Amino acid sequence: MTSKEPQQPNGPDSSAFGPVIDRLGPRLRAEFEQLHRSERTILAALTKPEVARQFAADPLATLAALKIEVPPIIKQRLKAASLTGDAPDLHRPRAFRLPNGQVITANVNIRFTGSPKVG
């Protein structure tokens, strides 16, 4: 017999989103749950290399182009990140200096493959 974790009173079981989401406040968690409803559409679009590159460079603009409504808190954070330069520039190589002075360059390869089946 398996036991299921209790569901949140305001939405689906947050364990579907992982431990990071569990640490968020209730409003932000609700916004991620709202965005999660568009997961299939997002993943289908990201199978196209050009859309995946655009998403890595500007996720908010890509979601808007896909006609996916981005909740207000997430939209605000994505806008602020692109304006302040805090948005990760994942499509470009990044250099890191190690404590011993050596410099290594990381090339990030983003591959969207789907999510685990919940149910």
CA distance 8 to 28: 14
What's the whole-number mean pLDDT along residues 113-117? 69
Looking at per-residue pLDDT, the higher value among 68 and 118 belongs to 68
Query: 12-69 pLDDT, tens per residue?
Result: 444 556 677 777 788 888 898 899 899 999 999 999 999 988 888 888 999 999 999 9
What's the whole-number mean pLDDT along residues 87-113? 74
In a domain, 35, yes or no: yes
Question: Which two tokens mark 73?
Answer: 């808190």
Phi and psi, residue 69, nearest 5°: -75, 120
Confidence of residue 78 (pLDDT cuts 50, 70, 90): confident
- Give the range of the structural domain holding residue 78, as residue numbers without chain letter: 14-106
Can you give the pLDDT at residue 106? 77
| Cα within 13 Å of Cα(34), Cβ side | 15
Tally of structural domains, the chain: 1
Can you give the pLDDT at residue 2? 44
In a domain, 3, yes or no: no
Nearest residue to 16 (alpha-carbon basis) of 31, 1, 32? 32
CA distance 66 to 62: 6
